[in-house]
Structure 1
Amino acid sequence: MQAHLSSQRSLGAAARPCGAQPRRRRGPYPAAASPGSAYHTRSVDGVQERTLGITALLADQEVQDSLLEGWSDRTATLALGSGFFAVENDGTAWWQDIPHSLSNKCIGRQKSLPPVEYVALGPGESYFVQFVDGHQQWWADEGLDDLTEALHSYSESVKLLAFAHGGGYYILWEDGHSQWYRLPQGLYNQLNGRKHPCVEFLSLGPNDEWFVRFLNGKGYVAGHSELCQETMAKLKAKGRSVLKIMYGEGGTWAIVHEHRSK
């Protein structure tokens, strides 16, 4: 089933951090029994109050707690895989249970080196990382050659990258240029049916889940679990707008949402 979502605005998909402070990988943990949430409220223009929240269900309870305790309205990038990787607006990076090769690049990274700007996680050991100097590194368990060819075909910095099931991908560069391959049919139709897709945020899951939000505020979603669907319905009933949905392995997910009031 494909659903349509309406909302007001979204956080940027990529940030320009200026420093990094890593958190080490740990585990294993007991499985999370139910979704958890975190909220941050601040005034906008001294008149309107904005409450930004995240609701997530991760595979391990302690990993889920770590995400919810560390997340704030300053979290610019959040990627899910077996665990998660987050980057703050100020460049602080923190994570749990990420691919080993990505962890090696981040743990103990010298302050003199360019910090992480953007990260995407995919199935298994798949990842993409971009540093503030534009340097990029990546790995894909499936479709590595196709992804490498696409990334080498364009010289701009990557704004958004998502790994698709079966070796597919979606890439959005900073100048608005985009390229995709082997996407779920419903998402392909949404993108291909627009002369200029103007994607603000897009995510893909290992079981063909997908979410896309366009710059006009319209969002579409399909393939997610019944619990994720129920959570979105509860958020909508509370007057909250869905800004982002991220998917990870094992049916995990995270929803970023907001509410504005005077």
Structure 2
Amino acid sequence: MTKDPRKVAVIGFGAMAQSLDRSLKDLSGKIAISATLVPADIEVDSGAITVFHNVDDLAKWGPSVVVECASHQAVRDYVPALLRAGIDVIVVSIGSLADNELVAALERAADEGGSRMTVVSGAIGGLDVLRSAKIAGLDSVVYTGVKPPAAWKDTPAERLVDLSKLTERTVIFEGNAAEASLQYPKNANVTAAVALAGVGFDKTKVTLVADPRAVSNSHQVNASGAFGKFQIVLENKPLPDNPKTSWLAALSVEQALHRHFQKIEL
């Protein structure tokens, strides 16, 4: 498959894909989004970007790499076909990988097509430390996510509290990463990244918080094991066009694309 960096395609063309498109255009232009795959009933203002409504048509177009930045369902519906067609895919909706059957299907598809699927680090850092520590053994991994109430709109949190009237820090979810990734797919993908790097979806403990005093999205990971103890805290600004997504998450997608085309990966 061609490795033309100006023949990148995206699945979905929402806030993250548009942010990625603008950022790539503002840089050298060596990497460019040239196509997008969206459902037939979705109209997008994509400018000069070619719009596909069928995954087979996109595969025939021959993208150098496809970036999924749409939804868990998009991973299920489109990514296996692309991998079987020999096309590398970068997945943003990593919460979808809480589904073991889906992961097995993706692995089979990649094997059949001789392709590769990678996932982005999203809004969290320090995952290299977790992966290394996992080799010696991890005893505990705990993730805490804190965001302003507006970031939790259109989620199960609205059934628990009146987000518009919150006056104090309020826990809206406690459970494991598998539950968080499925219940809060647009807000808690970072939990999936932590789970994959560490002790898995079922053993990673998760707390999600709505805080009216928060001015940014906060992500904290605490881990312990044979290696010792580890803590990381990030305060991320939200993506201007989508308060549910950290700006760093969008930047991690751009970084993943640059690494995909690097001759020497540093």
TM-score normalized by the length of structure 1? 0.28
Name the structure, 1 or 2, with higher relative contact order (CA <8 Å, separation 6+).
1
